[in-house]
Amino acid sequence: MVLETITVRTEGAVLFADIEAPPMNLLGPELVRDLVSLIQEAEADDTIQVLVFTSADPDYFISHVDLTQIEEYRAEAAKLTGEASIALLFHHLSASRLITIAQIEGRVRAAGSEFVLACDMRFAALESAIFSQFEPAFGLLPGGGGAQHLARLMGRARALEVMLSAQDYDAELAERYGWINRALPAATLGDFVRSLAHRIASFPAAGQVAVKDRVNAITLASAEEFRRDSNRFGEGVRNPEAQSRIRAAMKRGLQTRDAEMALAQILSEPASDSSSSGTRPTWGTPTASITCATPTSGTSI
């Protein structure tokens, strides 16, 4: 399997897919096209049981969608599900017979977060992984299932906080909130995920299908709910206020590699935070009672 933005490697029944879509792993038409091909081919290959996603970019796993090419990437998604929506692509992945694991280093924001939420499991590097579901900063509902997954994983209060704040969350806090399975030191993450993938692949596929079927029946929102959120995002993003907010954020660096290293700071108008007198919330800085002497202090932005 040769793809432009994904490097594929197979070990037994485990397929490793390394995402490399420079300059910042935006989810645009090329990456969506390649994800569709990858999923179709892996699902058609009975020897594959587990699919592991990694990133070739240490700072970005999947940054978010390319906001300048929404029609184009949606058209690519339609080739998998018949519907022009990455929400349905993500839902397809969650319902697949394949077991999917996201090994997260770097940033996953908006549709990047929704992609890893669609995976069956997600493990993140303590030092580098950063999570955000920032669509509400532009007045938008997350359109790729983010609201559906986060509400079920975190409960009402934390899901509202995460989305309404549009903040960056580090891996330690993402673990505490249930956004990810676990945060692990980057030095051990790869071996951990590889070993887990091979262990799962050593067991019969029949049990995996049965377990996913039951767990999805309880925890996965319906395709109709994904479709509705996707439509609401699609309508909202054409709204003049959303367009104005997005253009303003682009002037401050949205969708550029350097500026998005600290995206949370440029999502809101500089003036609108003046009342906060310089004290930004230190998201994910561990509280004294939970953690001590952690090497991750300061990784949050």
Q: Cβ 192 to its own copies, closest distance in Å? A: 5
Q: Cβ 1 to its own copies, closest distance in Å? A: 20
Question: According to CB under 8 A, which one of 35, 87, 242, 254 is a site residue for its own copies?
Answer: 242
Rounded Cα distance between 105 and 187, Å, is: 11
User: Which range of residues in 16-24, 38-46, 74-82, 148-156 is near its own copies by CB under 8 A?
Assistant: 148-156
Q: Where are the alpha helices (DSSP H) in 220-273?
A: 223-236, 240-251, 264-267
With CB under 8 A as the rule, give the number of residues binding its own copies. 101
Question: According to CB under 8 A, which one of 15, 67, 286, 301 is a site residue for its own copies?
Answer: 286
Query: H or E stretch including 153?
Result: helix 146-154
In this structure, the number of other CB atoms found within 10 A of the CB of residue 241 comes to 11
Which residue type occupies 122? R
Q: Which of residues 32-71 bind its own copies (CB under 8 A)?
A: none
Instruction: State both tokens at 73.
Output: 């990437």
Q: Does 234 bind its own copies (CB under 8 A)?
A: no
Q: Does 210 bind its own copies (CB under 8 A)?
A: yes
Nearest to 142 by CA among 103, 180, 104, 86: 86
Question: According to CB under 8 A, which one of 204, 224, 238, 251 is a site residue for its own copies?
Answer: 204
User: Do 116 and 19 contact (CB within 8 A), yes or no?
Assistant: no
Question: According to CB under 8 A, which one of 195, 222, 243, 256 is a site residue for its own copies?
Answer: 195
Question: Any bridge partners for residue 143, and if so which?
Answer: none
Q: Which is nearer to its own copies, 58 or 207 (CB)?
A: 207
Question: According to CB under 8 A, which one of 198, 227, 252, 257 is a site residue for its own copies?
Answer: 198
Q: Which is nearer to its own copies, 4 or 235 (CB)?
A: 235
Instruction: State both tokens at 21.
Output: 């879509």
Which residue type occupies 301? I
Question: According to CB under 8 A, which one of 15, 99, 108, 249 is a site residue for its own copies?
Answer: 99
Q: Which is nearer to its own copies, 70 or 102 (CB)?
A: 102
Rounded Cα distance between 9 and 221, Å, is: 31
Q: Does 298 bind its own copies (CB under 8 A)?
A: no
**Percent of residues in the chain assigned helix, strand, coil, to nearest 5:** 50, 15, 35
Q: Does 262 bind its own copies (CB under 8 A)?
A: no
